[in-house]
Every structure is written in structure tokens, then in C-alpha cells.
Amino acid sequence: MVVRDAVPEDTEQICALIEEHARYEGNDELRLDRADMARHLFGDSPKAWVLIAEADGAVAGMALCSWNFSTWEAKPGIWLDDLFVRPEFRRHGLGKALLTELRARTEGRVEWEMQEGNERAAAFYAKLGAEPAPEWIKYRWLPT
């Protein structure tokens, strides 16, 4: 098992993993533009970055992240936008390895969202020592 930073040659696998994750969550329509993803991850001004988990020489999972900053802690942290391990590679420690690597990259917070009702994920996160953030409401402002 290897966890490494993604490189531009991983763009196809990154997009495939995101699309597989969407299908797993019930969205069969998601199709990502590979050139846009490559530009946002590896272009002149990257907006996010990816860790790749490999097992038996295959891309088994990934964590897509961006940096954030806590004004009250005065520390940078990591926003985990997408964590996905292909079903055939689950229960082998890859999710934990990806999150452990993220934890090692910042002295600040590592934060993410989870869909309500995902009890398996909640139990997994609790084993790591992660807790839900009480008293916070998520907002979204979409372009018009």
C-alpha cells in the first residue's frame, strides 16, 4: 500500500474515482471534464490537490483536498472535499492511511462533510477520533 501525491498523469484516474463515487452515492449522471480537472489540480494556480492510495499496483482510492485557514486558531487546515476507496479495496486500511497522511500535513483542523445516515462512515471517523462539528449550519451560495 502506497499513499502519494497525485501527478498530472493521474487526472484520468482521479476523474474516474470521482465519477465512481458519484455513482456509489446515486448520481449516475456525473461526467467530469478532464482538461478542467487537470487545470484546477495541476495548472499554474492549483485550486486543490489529491492524495492517491495504491494497492497491488492499482489506483485504489483518493482524497481530494484544498487548504483552508482558521482565523481563530491562526493556523492553516485542510478541507477534505472527497474521500473514496474503490469497494474491492475497502477494509484494508487505505481510508485510514489517506486520512492519517492529511492529519500529518497540518497542525490545524482537517474538516469534511458526511451525508446524514452514513453510519459506516460515522463509525469509521469516530474510530479515528473525529467528531461532528456541533452548532454549525452549512450554507451554499450558487451562481445565478
Residues belonging to the active site: 125
Distance between CA 121 and CA 88 in Å, rounded? 16
- Taking the CB of residue 48, how many other CB atoms lie within 10 A of it? 14
Distance between CA 142 and CA 110 in Å, rounded? 24
The answer to whether the beta carbons of residues 50 and 42 sit under 8 Å apart is no
Within 25-83, residue ranges assigned H as helices are 34-42
53 Cβ partners below 8 Å, 6+ apart? 1, 2, 3, 59, 60, 61, 62, 63, 85, 89, 94, 97, 98
